[in-house]
Amino acid sequence: MAESASKAFVVGHPIAHSRSPKIHGFWLKQYGIAGSYEPVDVAPADFPAFLSGLRQAGFAGGNVTIPHKEAAWALAELRDEAAEAIGAVNTLWFEGGRLAGGNTDAHGFAANLDEYAPGWARNGPAMVLGAGGAARAVIHACLQRGVREVRILNRTPGRAQELADRFGAGVSAHPLAAAAEFLPGTGLLVNTTSLGMHGNSEIPVDPSVMPDRAIVTDIVYVPLETPLLAAARTRGLKTVDGLGMLLHQAVPGFERWFGIRPQVTPELRALVVADLDAGA
């Protein structure tokens, strides 16, 4: 339960593109809560001062997006297990008078697959494309759900190796060129790179050689069907777009700030899809 249920934020630089105000605004209206959720643009140099002034500004907490997630991790006085494992904070709240930080991206990833591909965690081995912050959240979610083998493929193998070392047993690092070797035995393919975003037609790997049981998901949600997902669908594979991850990761924060655990509904998804289509 939030200490104050009146005011929350999303902070980033830039922040105008964020869909979070649309999501949380929908829930505030749906549940009749007299609160607010506002975007705040803060430059990196000003971020520590922004956090130190949250209480004075009347905020119960908020979301953190690029480029502040790692700084929020360092500045939080308390961190949840997911934030510790992932090394980044995307949700802030007050706990016992102290600023607490969590990471809900792994929750959002898992909940999205739970909704559209039930049983996904039994469908390993998993291949994760990319080695950035989103990949860390995906790997954490996979391991938490019992996926026994996760292969990280990245154009820069050293970055993939850093992640493999971070997570330990069951996680291995490989160059992107190794995809042809591993894809025929991969049950879950996750793209965390920017390939396919904003009209980029490049496909990071070829899903046509994957087994019939395979699930392919992309954390990119602009466009909703990326070239990778389109190729996988043509192949007849189960595909899951990235929008659900965005929607589900917002749930725990709203509950902390406003005291109600909201639901991700078709109505909310349609609202955000319309916003995406409008290019807002």
Q: Could you give the residue numbers annotated as active site? A: 69
Q: Which two tokens stand for residue 79?
A: 């961190």
Q: Return the closest-CA partner of residue 179 out of 143, 212, 145, 203.
A: 203
Write the DSSP string, 120-131: GGGS--EEEE--
Q: Return the closest-CA partner of residue 90 out of 119, 109, 67.
A: 67
Q: Which two tokens stand for residue 199?
A: 């009209």
Long-range contacts for 228-232 (Cβ within 8 Å, ≥24 apart)? 228/191, 228/195, 228/196, 228/203, 228/204, 229/196, 231/203, 231/206, 231/207, 232/189, 232/207
Rounded CA-CA distance 231/210 in Å is 11
Rounded CA-CA distance 35/219 in Å is 30
Under 8 Å between Cβ of 244 and 115? yes
